[in-house]
Amino acid sequence: MAENNEKKYSTIHYHSYLQLDKILGAQRLRSQELGENPAHEEMLFIIVHQAYELWFKQIKHELGSVIDLFGNNNVDERNLGTAIGRLERVVEILKLLVQQISVLETMTPLDFLDFRNYLFPASGFQSFQFRILEIMLGLEEKERITYHGQHYASVFPDDQKEELKNAKAKGTLFEVLESWLERTPFLNFGTFNFLDLYKTAVHNMLDKERAAIKASSYLTEKEIEMRLKMLGGTDTFFQSVLDPKAHDKKIEEGHLRMSYKASIAALLINLYRDEPILHNPFKLLMTVVEIDDLLTTWRYRHAQMVMRMLGRKIGTGGSSGHDYLKETASKHTVFSDLHNISTLLIPRSELPSLPKELEKELGFYFTTKSNN
């Protein structure tokens, strides 16, 4: 026992704890190994991409823990705070990933050409960790853009293909978030029928906006007609929330993904975010949206960097380079349904008032009087 304790609390050096020999010995310049002269900028290229992979590992670590926290039928309020903190960490890491592109852009296109020919057929598309990360977030296979006509997993060895195949079975952030929203008690308020009151509020809001457009003295007849058409009505963008069947149809058509019940819960949380008990649920949803936004930003900045470095050249891995990356930025989103909630929001002035007893239930009430 004493021997185990001595081993447990034995001293360790900073260098060996971080295994710096392995890390700092991992920058091997192919231009030096295969060419006559080492390309100075290749060191930067390697280190930036190795840093990406280390951060991908940390993001996977955080996402895995959050998925586990939400894997139970009951999500403790303290676990909700923990999940938000870890997802906020992911947000900060993604901000760093975007900033790293600026560091890489200190290398000029001519600098890159000094060693680019040594990279074939390596490509960022071959980042196994990033593909796992996308799966953990909930990117569906049918939504993926193909890699020069082939399945995205075609570039990986068989063991990694199998791991990619099994990754989704462990659960995704989208799935556990949707399940949590479906289980939230916020929709069961007894006599307070949120949906009926919301429908009435939507009708009132649209009627007021139509009246304001028609009464405008500076719009032409054509402009009034155009604005009324743009305004739409309950049979257009509000239809998916006012009619469960319309929502399900949009899911079948691929326009929506999140279940009707989960979408209504997300809407309610957004509308009544000022109620104390809904602060954390709202913060959670906004943090997930920010993760989606930052990944899109990173993809887009990556595409712009490739355009700057390569123009219209094909990527080293055989992809269409800039065009492929730009397309992923616009299509490889996961939480579009949460973005769409903004379309369904109504002004606070139109928001149905909560009954006093319900308002008390959603708040934090304390008393200084003793029960003794």
Nearest CA to 94 among 68, 124, 130? 130
Position with higher pLDDT, 205 vs 76? 205
Position with higher pLDDT, 295 vs 146? 295
pLDDT in tens, 149-176: 778 888 889 999 999 988 888 899 999 9
Identify the band that residue 370 occupies on the pLDDT scale cut at 50, 70 and 90.
very low
**Residue 318 confidence (pLDDT) above 70:** no
pLDDT for the residue 313:
61
Helices 279-310, 173-183: axis angle to 10 degrees equals: 160
Q: Which residue has the tokens 């100075």?
A: 40
Q: What is the mean pLDDT of the chain?
A: 86
pLDDT for the residue 312:
64
231 lies in some domain = yes
Contact 362/276 with Cβ under 8 angstroms? yes
pLDDT for the residue 357:
72
Q: What is the 3-state secondary structure (H, E, C) of the chain?
A: CHHHHHHHCCCCCHHHHCCHHHHHCCCCCHHHHHCCCCCCCHHHHHHHHHHHHHHHHHHHHHHHHHHHHCCCCCCCHHHHHHHHHHHHHHHHHHHHHHHHHHHHCCCCHHHHHCCHHHCCCCCHHHCHHHHHHHHHHCCCHHHCCCECCECHHHHCCHHHHHHHHHHHHHCCHHHHHHHHHHHCHHHCCCCCCHHHHHHHHHHHHHHHHHHHHHCCCCCCHHHHHHHHHHHCCCCCCCHHHHCHHHHHHHHHCCCCCCCHHHHHHHHHHHHCCCCHHHHHHHHHHHHHHHHHHHHHHHHHHHHHHHHHHHCCCCCCCCCCCHHHHHHHHHHCCCCHHHHHHHHHCCCHHHCCCCCHHHHHHCCCCCCCCCCC
pLDDT for the residue 181:
92
Position with higher pLDDT, 76 vs 200? 200
**Residue 307 confidence (pLDDT) above 90:** no
As a whole number, mean pLDDT of residues 123-144 equals 90
Position with higher pLDDT, 178 vs 318? 178
As a whole number, mean pLDDT of residues 35-40 equals 88
Distance of alpha carbon 284 from alpha carbon 184, whole angstroms: 13
9 lies in some domain = no
pLDDT for the residue 147:
66
Position with higher pLDDT, 240 vs 156? 156
156 lies in some domain = yes
pLDDT in tens, 210-231: 899 999 888 898 988 888 887 7
Count other C-beta atoms under 10 Å from residue 210's C-beta.
15
Domain of 157, CATH number, reads: 1.20.58.480
In the chain, what is the greatest distance between 2 CA atoms, to the nearest angstrom? 90
Q: What angle do CA 102, 106, 107 make, to 5 degrees?
A: 125
In the chain, the percentage of residues whose pLDDT exceeds 70 is 87
Q: Which residue has the tokens 């299509």?
A: 331
Contact 284/83 with Cβ under 8 angstroms? yes
**Residue 91 confidence (pLDDT) above 90:** yes
As a whole number, mean pLDDT of residues 238-260 equals 89
Distance of alpha carbon 161 from alpha carbon 158, whole angstroms: 5
Identify the band that residue 114 occupies on the pLDDT scale cut at 50, 70 and 90.
very high
**Residue 112 confidence (pLDDT) above 80:** yes
As a whole number, mean pLDDT of residues 138-151 equals 80
10 lies in some domain = no
Distance of alpha carbon 304 from alpha carbon 46, whole angstroms: 19
In the chain, the percentage of residues whose pLDDT exceeds 90 is 48
**Residue 362 confidence (pLDDT) above 90:** no
pLDDT for the residue 233:
58
371 lies in some domain = no
Identify the band that residue 367 occupies on the pLDDT scale cut at 50, 70 and 90.
very low
Could you tell me the residue range of the domain that residue 185 belongs to? Answer: 15-361
Q: Tell me the whole-structure pTM to 2 decimals.
A: 0.88
- Dihedral sign for Cα 168, 169, 173, 179, please: positive
pLDDT for the residue 6:
61
pLDDT for the residue 363:
60
Identify the band that residue 334 occupies on the pLDDT scale cut at 50, 70 and 90.
very high
372 lies in some domain = no
3 lies in some domain = no
8 lies in some domain = no
The domain tally of the chain equals 1
Count other C-beta atoms under 10 Å from residue 238's C-beta.
21
Position with higher pLDDT, 317 vs 205? 205
